[in-house]
Chains A and B, each alone.
Chain A
Amino acid sequence: MREMIVSELSQALHEIARGFAHFLPRLIVILILAAVGWLIAYVVKAVLRSILRLVKFDKLSENAGTSQLLAKAALPSATEMLSRFVFWVAWTGFILLGVSVLGILGLQEQIARFFLFLPRLFVAMFIMFFGLLAASFFSRATLLAAVNANVPSPRVLSLAVRSIIIVFVLSIVFEELGLAEQTMLVAFGIAFGALMLGLAIAFGMGGRDLAQRFLEKRFVRGKEENDDEVSPL
């Protein structure tokens, strides 16, 4: 009986040792891949950071309004954020590549899905950034045009333009990421429809007097007022 127990134990220990001997090289491969990946990711991060500084990405980000958002959230600059993001994506990619060497079936499928998702994530980020840039540009253009045309409530107009563009961009981003496509589509339809209806009702009913004053000023009195001004040139 005793001998049998010892034999079983030694066999179990042997199995463990064999399993460990089988696993150890793979673990070493994971660690090597992680170390090499860290080095490559670090170099990519440094190169990307230099390129972004060279093309004045922070200025572009300031124009898009993302710098202000990052500053409010006490986060680093857009250049730093993007560099760090690329570093983590690259390093995580190498680690997952190493993990896939383990040969765990379910895990391999998930890793493959992660790599397939990466291009969509980058496209979504690209759309988001340039969408914010467009929103900032057009809202500022609206604000300036409204102020110079002496239109009432220029900031409201500017905000409306910014909101519409951002909602539109967000709906595209979510669609690109494949996240709650149907929900986003319906939500966007409802939000956009409600906004337009609200504006129509507000302008037609609630703001009837304001609309009347605005139209009078624009087409009747505006002409007289302009007649009282001299040529700037």
Chain B
Amino acid sequence: MKLAEESFLTNDFLRQLMNVGEVDILVGLPTHNNAKTVGSIVHAIQSGILREFPRQRAVIINADGGSRDGTPELVTGVSIDDVRPASNLRTLRTLHSISTKYASSSPLSSGVAFRTILAAAELLRAKACVVLSPESENIEPEWLSKLLRPIFDDGVDLVTPTYRRHKFEGLLITNLLYPMTRALYGLRIREAYSPEFGFSGRLGSQFLAKNVWNDGPEGASIELRFTLAAIAGRCRISQSFLGEKNHVERRAADLVPALRQTVGTLFSALEPDFPMWSTVADSQVVPTAGADHEVLLDALRINRKRSREMFSTGVAELESVFQSILSPSTLAELQRIARLGEAGFRYPPELWARTVYEFAATYQKSVISRDHIIQALAPLFRGRVFTFLMENRNASADDVENNIESLCLEFERLKPYLLQIWK
């Protein structure tokens, strides 16, 4: 057994890993005070392994950030015997559950948890791994198969999920992350930022060896970094449709941390990945098992007016900050639309793509604090959200998809502009 990460892992955890030996499947479960949901998630994992992988050696690795609600005990305490009577199935191997607490100053540090999972996967020589979110309220046993089968059967390195979402959910992904990663990295991955994904042991080891744990901005998402590294490394990637995404609610008040996690991570990856993305000309479809997206159209109460107001206030109050980030023509255009009334207001895709690219270029040049650049994007994103909400208020699923596609094409069309201002 290779002990490359022995200094990072605790002795007790290493001892438990040694007792397990080698495995075929590793299920990573990063937690922090998730007692409400973790029990049902472990049940779903066990059912999934019993049904789909009864002959594989499997282990659940719980990397816990210091929970005080008994989360680790719930993970290790759930017996597979609780699942057997219901499923009427038996595994031919022992299913291990190991929990370890990682030393971290921030309990939300997903990087430490993910590093623990990757290190365990390398030590146990896992062939395929899957990471699941402890906040998912509706994980189904089939998710394991959907995220692991392409790795076992097709030799895929990374399996990202696609979900059934409400048309107005995940607007940061549909209006920025998806169009920009698609335009720059050339792959149409719908959910590059996702807490659930599967990957091969080979890809896990490659990423672990990169030792990027202390790089990137504060609050960066290591999962997104992992996906971008897989794309930049030309790994084989596929998507699997998992069904409805039903996470414990993350409200719009969390916009700035969400921007740090996604946009901050993406912007910081652009610099080292420049040789790769600067040569990509267009975008390719990613093989997908199931739908590559599904849209729910139920009525949803959303405070649109507040988004527009915060956009206008932001443009007026942050003028001095925007002067350091945006070109005079973009700023002038933003100031013009900020003065428009609710009825006439529109933040067009072309202007939005140009804004985001100018932010990315300024971020690379570090004209001001990088975290301030990310924070300054928040009010502008609210303006784009308002336009998206208005344009798709009565739109069908196809209309919504067409609008997202137009935005993506705009990002692709303006990519030369980013290359021009990047230098």
Which residues of A line the B interface, CB within 8 A? 59, 62-63, 137, 140-141, 143-145, 147-148, 150, 154-155, 225-233
Contacts and interface: CB of A to CB of B under 8 A. Distances in A.
Given A59-B367, A144-B376, A147-B379, A228 B170 contact: no
Interface in B227-256: 247, 249-256
A150 B250 contact: no
B168 interface: yes
A147 B313 contact: yes
**Interface SS of B by simple majority:** helix
A154 B310 CA distance: 12
For B169, B173, B258, B303, the residue with the greatest tally of chain A CB atoms inside 10 Å of its CB is: B303
Nearest to B171: A232
A221 B178 CA distance: 33
Contacts of B303: 225, 228-229
B193 interface: yes
Interface in B365-423: 367-369, 372, 375-376, 378-379, 381
Given A140-B321, A148-B256, A231 B314 contact: no
**Chain B interface size, under 10 / 10 to 19 / 20 to 34 / 35 or more:** 35 or more
Closest 8 CB pairs of A and B: A229-B252, A228-B303, A232-B172, A144-B375, A231-B250, A232-B258, A226-B253, A148-B378
A143 B316 CA distance: 12
B306 interface: yes
Contacts of A154: 317
Nearest to A228: B303
A144 B169 CA distance: 25
B300 interface: yes
B193 A231 contact: no
Contacts of B166: 230
A216 to B, nearest CB: 15
Interface in B303-326: 303, 306-307, 310, 313-314, 317-318, 321, 324
Contacts of B367: 59, 62
Contacts of A137: 369
B168 A230 contact: yes
B334 to A, nearest CB: 14
A155 B313 CA distance: 11
Interface string B250-271: 1111111011011000000000
Nearest to B177: A233
B228 to A, nearest CB: 16
A225 B306 contact: yes
